[in-house]
Amino acid sequence: MDTHIPDWHLFRAFLAVVREGSLSGAARMLATTQPTMGRQVAALEASLGVKLFTRSIDGLSPTEAGLRLIPSAEAMAAAAETAWRSTSGKADEARGTVRITASEVIGSEVLPSLLTGFYSLYPQISVELVLSNRNEDLLRGDADIAVRMVRPSQAALVAKRIGNIDAGLYAHQHYLKKRPMPQCLYDLRQHALIGYDRNPAHSRMIEMMRVPLTREMFAFRSDSDLAQLAALRTGFGIGASQLGIAKRDRNLIPVLHTELIFSMDVWVAIHPDMRSDRRIRLMFDYLVKKLAHYAMTSRHET
């Protein structure tokens, strides 16, 4: 192990590889070359005397030593940015990039309009939006902020519950012109239903409604929530939707809402070491406020 303290640019290279998951992606982020990134990571590993990454089918993943280094490296990055702002007269100016992860539906149907409003307020902050139904690891640096419909499982995260969103079954009015409106759960068996294909987790809404449905009963099957929503909007059959999304489309008619409504919590989470980063804190507070309003519009009125 080297005895001198590694230069900051080596830690910056380390963080870029953590975020991008590859040397090539990190090189693009820092506007340098892949061999340069490789040399810098190797130099940091040699200086610290530990291996920081392992190769996997998903790219480069931090080792245990790498995971332990992330909070300190992020603190160094925040300190470097603070120093730059204070000396350049930009202490009050928020700039940079915020990376957000959200589910397919929230990320495509809800967040874009909210982020448009945020960008108009803070044009120096760019946004990266990752649509995924899997839980990205904020502690590992996969994203800065996560919007989730379940409480994040990592205890170290700072997570705020901002409300709950109701969901139910809907059908396009053109579909209901051809088929009678279901009057009870049993009637659903006589309809074209929209649901999951191979992964039941993608029909969590139907599971939470405790509707006695199986894969074989679905006439349209997809493990993409967006594909299911698209099929619903084209009039294929009956499927589930968040109330706040369905209310925007006058063609979507509620089905059995007196019997089948359920609520999902909405959580916004950040890494605890990122709370002091102004651009991330601005985005976090903005999303909490705007998503709370969306949650209020997505509640079933009894």
pLDDT tens for 204-241 read 555 655 666 677 889 999 988 899 999 999 999 999 99
DSSP string, 148-167: ESS--S-TTSEEEEEEEEEE
pLDDT at 184: 86
Which range has the worst mean pLDDT, 46-55, 155-164, 175-184? Answer: 155-164
pLDDT tens for 115-165 read 999 999 999 999 999 887 666 555 566 778 989 887 776 666 778 888 889
Say how many C-beta atoms besides its own lie within 10 A of residue 49's C-beta.
Answer: 9
Where helices occur in the chain by DSSP H, the ranges are 8-20, 23-29, 34-48, 64-88, 104-105, 111-121, 173-178, 204-209, 225-233, 243-246, 278-297
- Report the DSSP pairing between strands 261-270 and 145-148: antiparallel
In this prediction, residue 56 has a pLDDT band, given cuts at 50, 70 and 90, of confident
**What are residue 127's DSSP bridge partners?**
98
**Mean pLDDT throughout 85-113?**
79
**What are residue 159's DSSP bridge partners?**
269
pTM for the model stands at 0.65
pLDDT at 115: 94
Has residue 30 got a pLDDT over 50?
Answer: yes
- Report the DSSP pairing between strands 158-172 and 252-255: antiparallel
Report how far residue 217's alpha carbon sits from residue 154's, in angstroms, rounded to the nearest whole number: 36
Instruction: Give CA separation, 185 vs 193, 217, 219, 271, 292, in Å.
Output: 12, 13, 17, 43, 32
Report how far residue 162's alpha carbon sits from residue 300's, in angstroms, rounded to the nearest whole number: 17
Mind listing the domains of the chain with CATH numbers? 8-88 (1.10.10.10), 96-163+264-297 (3.40.190.10), 164-262 (3.40.190.10)
User: What is the DSSP secondary structure assignment for residue 185, as one 8-state letter?
Assistant: G
pLDDT tens for 189-198 read 889 999 888 7
pLDDT at 230: 96
Q: Which amino acid, residue 134?
A: R
Residue indicated by tokens 């080297």: 2
Buried b (16+ CB within 10 A) or exposed e, 154-188: eeebebeebbebbbbbbbbeebbeeeeebeeeeeb
Report how far residue 289's alpha carbon sits from residue 17's, in angstroms, rounded to the nearest whole number: 32
Has residue 86 got a pLDDT over 60?
Answer: no
Has residue 253 got a pLDDT over 90?
Answer: yes
